Amino acid sequence: MTRITVAKGDGIGPEIMDATLDIIKAAGAKIEIDEIEVGEKVYLAGNPAGIAPEAWDTIRNNKVFLKAPITTPQGGGYKSLNVTTRKFLGLYSNVRPCMSLHPFVKTKHPIMDIVIVRENEEDLYAGIEHQQTDEVVQCLKLISRPGCEKIIRYAFEYAKQQNRKKVTCFTKDNIMKQTDGLFHKVFDEIAKEYPNIENEHWIIDIGAAKLADTPEAFDVIVMPNLYGDVLSDVAAQITGSVGLAGSANIGEECSMFEAIHGSAPKRAGQDVANPSGLLQGAIMMLNHIGQSDVAEKVQNAWLKTIEDGTHTYDIFKEGTSKKAVGTKEFAQCVIANLGQKPSLLKSVSYANNLALNLPKYKRKTPATKKLEGVDIFVHWQGTEPNELAQKVQQLEGKGIKLSMITNRGIKVWPDGFKETFCTDHWRCRFKAKDGEQMYKTDILELLEKAIEEDIDTIKTENLYAFDGVSAYSLGQGQ
């Protein structure tokens, strides 16, 4: 018996959760359920996280959480419960299988069978944002080595366990050489440990185009958080319906399983919603808790039901579909098919589909770090970069020189183009002169002088070399 936490959520949530639980219990799932309340009611009761503190205790005690979709109320102040849960519980890996069910569910991509493994904790979803000037806001994109190692190793271990042939990595490291560059570098390092699994890297833009056009060219795809968020929805949609996909959020201790779609409030309470997405999440949960025999039985019965043409409204098509059903009847049909296998669709065998047990991240020996300069960001209303250069050159110390000014990353001084559009947000790069050593106190001096000269500094970024390699981007056009 495994004790799990269940949240029935909002909108169609309670109906699809009841259907899912009926099916897995009928298949013999050995689970005990603690139900918690999350979502709209909890938000509107004045809890901006959408969850009460006692509910966290239940989730953390049971460690396995099956969650129906929730409605996040419109308007400011409400935090996404999904993002909070993933980050609080360290659910670093979001696994989303996307498979076509041709010819039973209409799709342009009949032989698609891919799994997207999305990094779930960092990237732009760190949610660290600031307004810095009248005209410019920023969002910090944080990518860490532990974050990359954990998710990329997960993707390869998953591929190995599932007998998948290839792992593809998507990044935009031709532009973001530090952040996406690290993700790609770690991918290449870890890929070497799996010589029997093919590996490849695509730049995300052309990779995404290829995925939407020729998904059969891919198998497992691993990517940073934002790209994974967008492309996993694209991938699910092109199999025929977002209503059919589930996802697993896996951490070192806890895990959460869900459908990928939302709470579809317009369909709530009408017994019409398709419970398949949540059921797919529940099947991943059963594998995760070591009940693969039950998972396999449910998946084969579900495939048979789809194959029988027993379809909810979202996938119902005259011609291919045979019987239009609601949520409850769909669940009853799956239950009636337990023990059977599909004949045209490939049946599944989950003989060794246990939870992956990955090694814990080990911190590396720290590199030798040398301060080479500082970027001082300035809020300035002027338009002429030469004028700003003269102003900030007054800040130069004895061993430190202004080396460049950029505006939104593009070099505007020295030798800028008059055509370049400039905002009120300027990055002034100061570097140690050749042969001079720079210290943090030099930065303090620069900032103090800026106050004296009435220059509005808004932030600084230290420029470091790690083990002798300068680790910061150049100005575009530098």
- Give contact residues for ligand NAD (rule: CB under 6 A): 12, 16, 69-72, 82, 243, 258, 261-267, 273-274, 277, 314
Residue 215 vs 243, nearer CB to ligand NAD? 243
Residue 136 vs 268, nearer CB to ligand NAD? 268
Burial label, 86 (beta-carbon count in 10 A; 0-12, 13-18, 19+) = buried
Residue 12 vs 392, nearer CB to ligand NAD? 12
The nearest distance, CB 71 to ligand NAD, in angstroms, is 4
The nearest distance, CB 13 to ligand NAD, in angstroms, is 8
Find out whether 304 and 340 touch, Cβ atoms under 8 Å.
yes
The nearest distance, CB 267 to ligand NAD, in angstroms, is 5
Residue 267 vs 429, nearer CB to ligand NAD? 267
Q: For strand 400-407 and strand 410-413, is the pairing parallel, antiparallel, or unpaired?
A: antiparallel
- Give, in order, the Cα–Cα distances in Å from 21 to each of 18, 43, 54, 68, 284: 5, 25, 23, 11, 14
The nearest distance, CB 327 to ligand NAD, in angstroms, is 8
The nearest distance, CB 263 to ligand NAD, in angstroms, is 4
Give SS3 for 141: coil
Residue 274 vs 353, nearer CB to ligand NAD? 274
The nearest distance, CB 297 to ligand NAD, in angstroms, is 22
| Distance separating alpha carbons of residues 360 and 340, to the nearest angstrom | 40
Give SS3 for 52: coil
Q: For strand 166-171 and strand 220-223, is the pairing parallel, antiparallel, or unpaired?
A: parallel
Give SS3 for 5: strand
Residue 11 vs 342, nearer CB to ligand NAD? 11
The nearest distance, CB 243 to ligand NAD, in angstroms, is 4
Find out whether 135 and 423 touch, Cβ atoms under 8 Å.
yes
| Distance separating alpha carbons of residues 470 and 281, to the nearest angstrom | 44
Residue 72 vs 337, nearer CB to ligand NAD? 72
Find out whether 256 and 249 touch, Cβ atoms under 8 Å.
yes
- Give, in order, the Cα–Cα distances in Å from 188 to each of 156, 361, 422: 12, 17, 38
